[in-house]
């Protein structure tokens, strides 16, 4: 019998941009991608809404978010850990 493939959940590290919503934070995740024509690395920033059950993360914190089931229309990430607190 063939072994079942184990799917790993996606993870991103980013900075909290907003914590004004109840149990939700907005995390800016920065990636670099090589431009196809100009062969230059371009910075791309994606903003993700993540579930923060305890309202623990604050603006400026560096956090790790993990993929989860859809919690609402735009929220399918949850806070895994706070890596570094804002100063």
Give the model confidence (pLDDT) of 6-34 as tens digits. 889 999 999 999 999 999 999 999 999 99
Beta bridge partners of 46: 29
Output the pTM of the full model.
Answer: 0.86
**What mean pLDDT is predicted for residues 60-87?**
97
Domain 11-84 class in CATH: mainly beta
Give the start-to-end residue ranges of the domains of the chain.
11-84
CB 55 within 8 A of CB 63: no
Backbone angles phi, psi at 78, to 5 degrees: -135, 150
CB 43 within 8 A of CB 30: yes
- What's the confidence (pLDDT) of residue 37? 98
Mean of all residue pLDDT scores within the chain: 95
**What mean pLDDT is predicted for residues 60-80?**
97
Query: Cβ contacts of residue 78 below 8 Å, gap of 6+?
Result: 50, 51, 52, 53, 65, 66, 68, 71
Percent of the chain with pLDDT over 70: 98
């Amino acid at each position: 019998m063939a072994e079942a493939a184990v799917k790993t959940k996606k993870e991103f590290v980013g900075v909290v941009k907003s914590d004004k919503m109840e149990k939700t934070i907005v995390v800016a995740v920065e990636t670099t991608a090589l431009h196809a024509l100009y062969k230059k690395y371009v910075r791309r920033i994606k903003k993700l809404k993540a579930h923060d059950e305890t309202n623990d993360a604050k603006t400026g914190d560096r956090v790790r978010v993990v993929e989860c089931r859809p919690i609402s229309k735009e929220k399918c990430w949850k806070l895994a850990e706070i890596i570094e607190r804002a100063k």
